[in-house]
Amino acid sequence: MGNPFKAEESGAPDAFDQAVAAHQRRQMSPDGPPGEPSAVGLTWRPVDLHPILRGEHKLIEPDVGMARQDGLRLLYRGREHAIVGEMESGKSWLACAHAAAELNRDQRVVYVHFEEADPTDTVGRLRSLGVPDPLIGDLLAYVAPNEPVDPATLSQLLAPTPTLVILDGVNEAMALHGWKIMEPTGAAEYRRWLVRPFTSHGAAVVSLDHVPKDPAARGRNAIGSIHKGNGLDGALIVLENSAPFGRDKRGASYLFVTKDRPGFLRQHGNASRDGVTGKTYMGTLVVDDTRTHRNYLDLVLLPPSENEGERPDGKPAKGGDRADEDDRAVYGVVSAIGESGQPASGRQVRAKLPGIGKDRVLGALERLVLDGRLTETAGPKRARLFTPNEWADLDEEDDS
């Protein structure tokens, strides 16, 4: 049997049209597959606006997936999102972090991987992120299809309804179904058949995609038709690698939002300084697998700091008010201790700043190291030792 989603070059009705017609007929049955109206034509009926006018309509806020260190989440319930970036920019780590957060809240997660049939790597990442085996076994549905989607089969993934669905490998999914990556219709069909069946039931859907190979074409969208991003009703997240990820390494990527349809996220980030309009810096994703200071893998999304200076590597410093104050306070303590000729331990810094709290101090230390303002070395008994770099003065102002 041929691919029912690939159009034939003929004047007769193609297999795809036949599949759509059959799908629509099934929608009209009470026991038909989910994702579309129960009868054809319902979406053309006017929407009742009176609840909005009465003030009963609550603006949506992101409440799904992992939280940034300050508690901000990035995913909207019932909306479509995308995470795009180059290879090894942390897309899978970020997706697994969102999945881990939901699993640890006893919520069901569906992970559809179009590029990897073996779930071993995904399970290993979830274990590294602290998800117990019973939760993975009971609440994670891992799917690795090598055939086009069947609406009836897809409906089984909605029983019970997940809070999060990850679609890993957008272009592979489109190729599998015969949808053209560079054409708007391809993105529309991907959304219709693979995204809406889940979002219509309240799940947050996250697609993992690649950026264009040409650096000049990168910045706001994924490879292929611009309709991939234009049709999103959630957030489009872009990862730009700063330090490579890998086993026994501490990797980092800058996280940007280039589309935020509900509009809640941008107020918690800072405008990018690389000239790309609508690109908001939301923080730094750090995956520390060195096991030097902790005996477990540590993943954290750090909020922006508000240093407006330039780093010595020519990259712009990132922009959030409290995080900037924390950075200055922590840097000042490390510098004061360093005047004695000794590096400052993380424990010493925390003791000097009891009003900030452990997590905020650790977050500031991570940002300062990643931005090159502090140098970190390993001390005895897994101690973290920090030394200020001479060029970095957070209190220095440019009077020019």
User: Average model confidence (pLDDT) for the chain?
Assistant: 79
Q: Are residues 70 and 144 in the same domain?
A: yes
Does residue 88 fall inside a structural domain? Answer: yes
The domain that holds 334 is classified in CATH as 1.10.10.10
Does residue 54 fall inside a structural domain? Answer: no
Q: Are residues 230 and 189 in the same domain?
A: yes
Does residue 39 fall inside a structural domain? Answer: no
**Domain region containing 147:** 64-302
* Nearest alpha carbon to residue 225 among 39, 82, 391: 82
pTM (2 d.p.): 0.72
pLDDT beyond 80 at 208: yes
Could you report the per-residue pLDDT of 216-249, keeping only the tens digit for each?
444 555 555 566 778 899 999 999 988 888 777 7
Q: Are residues 182 and 292 in the same domain?
A: yes
Mean pLDDT of 367-375: 78
Backbone angles phi, psi at 59, to 5 degrees: -65, 140
Q: Are residues 163 and 273 in the same domain?
A: yes
**100 and 300 Cβ atoms separated by less than 8 Å:** no
Does residue 5 fall inside a structural domain? Answer: no
What does the pLDDT read at residue 336?
A: 86
Q: Are residues 290 and 329 in the same domain?
A: no
Does residue 363 fall inside a structural domain? Answer: yes
Does residue 2 fall inside a structural domain? Answer: no
What does the pLDDT read at residue 275?
A: 56
pLDDT beyond 70 at 24: no
Does residue 325 fall inside a structural domain? Answer: yes
The domain that holds 178 is classified in CATH as 3.40.50.300
Number of domains in the chain: 2
Burial call 331-363: b when 16+ CB within 10 Å, e when fewer:
bbbbbebeeeeebbbbebbbebbeebeeebbbb
Q: Are residues 175 and 242 in the same domain?
A: yes
Q: Are residues 336 and 234 in the same domain?
A: no
Does residue 276 fall inside a structural domain? Answer: yes
Q: Are residues 82 and 202 in the same domain?
A: yes
Could you report the per-residue pLDDT of 268-327, keeping only the tens digit for each?
988 765 656 678 999 999 988 876 656 678 899 999 875 433 333 334 444 445 677 788
Taking the C-alpha atoms of residue 376 and residue 136, their distance in angstroms, rounded to an integer, is 35
* Nearest alpha carbon to residue 289 among 302, 298, 281, 280: 298
Single residue among 247, 272, 302 that ends a domain in this structure: 302
Q: Are residues 154 and 192 in the same domain?
A: yes
More reliable by pLDDT, 317 or 166: 166
Residue 16 has which token pair?
Answer: 């795809």
Single residue among 302, 336, 370 that ends a domain in this structure: 302
